[in-house]
Amino acid sequence: MVAVLLLCLLPATVLGSPVPVLRGAITDETGLLEEGRAQIEAAQNDLFQRTGVQLYTLWVETTGGADIGQFTIDVGRENQLGDRDALLVVAVEDRQNWLELGEGLNADVSQIEVDSIIRDMGPQLADSDFPGAVVGAAQGLQAAVGAVAPVPGGTPVPGSTPAPRGGGIDLLPVLLVLGIIGIGAWIFLRFRRERDRRRVAFQEAAEQERLGREANGLLIRTDDALRDAEQELGFAEAQFGAAQAAAMGKALVAAREELRQAFTIGQRLDDAEPESAEQRRAMIQEIIERCQRAQGAVDEQREAVERLRDLEKNAPQVLAALPASIDEVERRLPAAQESLARLDRYAQASWKAVAGNVDAARDRVAAARKHLAAGQAGLSGNDRSAAAVEARAAQERITEASGLLEAIDKTSASLDEAAARIETELRQVQADIAQARAAMSAGTAPERGAALAQAETALAAVQRAAGAERPDVTAVMRQLTAVDGMVDELLAGIRAADEQRRRSAQLAAMAISAAEGSIAQAEDYISGYRRSQSLGRRARNRLDDARRYLGAGSSAASDRCRSGGTTCARLTRSPTRLSGWPSRTRAGRPWAGAPPRHAPMTGSAPS
């Protein structure tokens, strides 16, 4: 028993694997546990206090085809869970869950008890009571393990006999008993120190998780506030002129930079390189402070706009101008519907981001008319404050509707441009391949025959995709860019240097154009639907990643063109949109694999 306990306390080698990082005791990549987080944390704390068992739970959309049992074991090993830790994994889309116990719990919890815990979760999962399912698992583990038993004291040594009367005392049994008691006391103290250390680490991880949620929400709110402020700035500039709005614009630029820096720190927390607990806390705190400064600048700008506009004073003029603005947007709806219908000649994947924009714009026009009527009623009732609020709301709906319709036009123009560019590039690639084939026939670079065959096969696949009845031109552009790169590499050393630079510039411009079109669709979608849909941190993170990569690629292409003396296409760079990051948990001891324990997840999962 002593040997086993000592082995359980020693660290072992951590096996790395590309699996999710646990961000505290609750790692929820689905958002299903958010409302019941406090309830789950209370159950986890109670389990730990009463049994010394720390339950982690990981909720993912899917394991990506991996066996959920092996997936759970890999997560435990990668995150260095201890032998008295338990890990509950739920894959929502796969409709599977798995409970894995550390090796130190195998003697306390039987397979039958584990099966019972999983079986009891079924009705709660079926009723979409996801936090309740985790709480039930924690309570089931607590009942199975029971309270932490005291370390046993000494026991009589088998076969020992009393000392003879009148003789000396046999010290060997006494020494054995004292030795066992001493070792037991040492193990107990070691266990208590380890438990205290784990409690502190658990509390620190929980606090960092709380700070992470606060910073994550603050990033999203600040990003939304900046968007609103930029919209307000546009109103002020249109009504009062660019000179009046210039100072406010500078304040927004400074706020945007603060938010960009905050997002950069978040990306460092989001990468694969770990930080210490102190570093993570300091980085999270810096994100919160930068967001607060950005929010303060936005608030000052908003107050300045409000003072400038003084809507209560100007409400009659604003309301009088609104009908014409609403009518103008409404007149654009039929043309936008026709543009949307023409987009059907392309695969829906190319334009699905704007598929609902006409209906959404029509709803916003109707809402603007309601706000206008309410504002006019307030003005008639001499309630200028209410009239100003309604006028402002009507302006916002008109701006949103206009933006949704403009997104359709931009998408249509982008796809038409891509389709035309595909035809031109296909002819150019065919000519390049013919040039390479002719050079090889003449005995130049015969060793590149396999590469030529590969390029011809890839080109044929692109031609089939481009010739489809409803081509996905965005995907075809990406495939064609890859083929063009293969051909450029094939012709390296065959084609003249100036011609090589010209083709490289064309290739860069094509890749940048395709990326700009995709980024513009994502930006327009977030701007148009952020009020009506739950668009959280992940979409904004990925959009910002795309903008940074595009900016780096554009700069590199521009530098290359300038150094090569080649005229390049215009390379645009757009401002970033920022958001949050996940926090991380503590490091523990290696996960000791137990026999597979799982049950299928029952009930329906939300889409």
What is d(CA 3, CA 358) in angstroms, rounded to the nearest whole number? Answer: 72
Residue 390 predicted with pLDDT over 60: yes
CATH code of the domain containing 21:
3.10.310.50
What is the model's pLDDT at position 503? 65
Global confidence as pTM? 0.43
Kindly report the average pLDDT of the chain as a whole number. 77
Q: Please report whether residue 110 resides in a domain.
A: yes
Buried b (16+ CB within 10 A) or exposed e, 63-82: beeeebbebbbbbbbbbbbb
What is the model's pLDDT at position 278? 81
What is the model's pLDDT at position 238? 67
What is d(CA 473, CA 132) in angstroms, rounded to the nearest whole number? Answer: 47
Claim to verify: residue 138 and residue 29 sit in the same structural domain: yes
Sheet of 54-60, strand order:
26-28, 54-60, 85-91, 96-101, 598-600
Q: Please report whether residue 478 resides in a domain.
A: yes
Question: What is the average per-residue pLDDT within 36-43?
Answer: 92
From residue 523, give the alpha-carbon distance in Å to each of 63, 359, 410, 526: 29, 19, 12, 5
Q: Which one, of 245, 231, 379, 398, lies nearest residue 308 by Cα?
A: 245
Residue 443 predicted with pLDDT over 70: no
Claim to verify: residue 219 and residue 128 sit in the same structural domain: no
pLDDT over 70 percentage in the chain: 77
What is d(CA 322, CA 316) in angstroms, rounded to the nearest whole number? Answer: 10
Residue 592 predicted with pLDDT over 50: no
What is the model's pLDDT at position 281? 82
Q: Please report whether residue 586 resides in a domain.
A: no
When mean pLDDT is compared across 42-46, 230-234, 515-519, 597-601, the lowest value belongs to 597-601
Claim to verify: residue 126 and residue 41 sit in the same structural domain: yes
If pLDDT is split at 50, 70 and 90, which confidence band does 595 have?
Answer: very low
What is the model's pLDDT at position 65? 86
Claim to verify: residue 42 and residue 135 sit in the same structural domain: yes
Residue 604 predicted with pLDDT over 70: no
Question: What is the average per-residue pLDDT within 381-399?
Answer: 82
If pLDDT is split at 50, 70 and 90, which confidence band does 191 have?
Answer: confident
Q: Please report whether residue 262 resides in a domain.
A: yes
Claim to verify: residue 19 and residue 125 sit in the same structural domain: yes
Claim to verify: residue 428 and residue 541 sit in the same structural domain: yes
What is d(CA 302, CA 307) in angstroms, rounded to the nearest whole number? Answer: 9
What is the model's pLDDT at position 458? 87
pLDDT tens digit string along 533-567? 766 667 777 888 888 888 888 877 776 655 544 44
**Vertex 91, ends 87 and 94: CA angle to 5°?**
145
Claim to verify: residue 21 and residue 90 sit in the same structural domain: yes
Claim to verify: residue 138 and residue 231 sit in the same structural domain: no
Q: Please report whether residue 395 resides in a domain.
A: no
Claim to verify: residue 9 and residue 143 sit in the same structural domain: yes
Domain count, the chain: 3
Q: Name the domain boundary from 281, 309, 337.
A: 309
- For the chain, the 3-state helix, strand and coil shares in percent, each to the nearest 5, are 70, 5, 25
Q: 506 or 521, which is more confident?
A: 521
Question: What is the average per-residue pLDDT within 35-51?
Answer: 91
Q: Name the domain boundary from 112, 127, 150.
A: 150
For 521, the domain range is 414-440+448-564
If pLDDT is split at 50, 70 and 90, which confidence band does 445 have?
Answer: low
Residue 467 predicted with pLDDT over 70: yes
Q: Name the domain boundary from 115, 130, 150.
A: 150
Question: What is the average per-residue pLDDT within 399-413?
Answer: 90
What is the model's pLDDT at position 312? 67
Q: Return the H-helix or E-strand segment holding 567.
A: none
When mean pLDDT is compared across 181-195, 312-326, 495-509, the lowest value belongs to 495-509
If pLDDT is split at 50, 70 and 90, which confidence band does 507 have?
Answer: confident
Quote the tokens at residue 252. 């927004």
- The answer to whether 55 and 88 are in contact (CB under 8 A) is yes
Q: Please report whether residue 125 resides in a domain.
A: yes
Residue 585 predicted with pLDDT over 60: no
Q: Please report whether residue 184 resides in a domain.
A: no
Q: Please report whether residue 315 resides in a domain.
A: no
What is d(CA 146, CA 424) in angstroms, rounded to the nearest whole number? Answer: 74
Claim to verify: residue 135 and residue 215 sit in the same structural domain: no
What is the model's pLDDT at position 362? 93
pLDDT tens digit string along 73-112? 999 888 888 888 999 999 998 888 999 998 888 888 888 8
Claim to verify: residue 426 and residue 556 sit in the same structural domain: yes
Q: Which one, of 227, 129, 274, 292, lies nearest residue 582 by Cα?
A: 274
Claim to verify: residue 555 and residue 461 sit in the same structural domain: yes
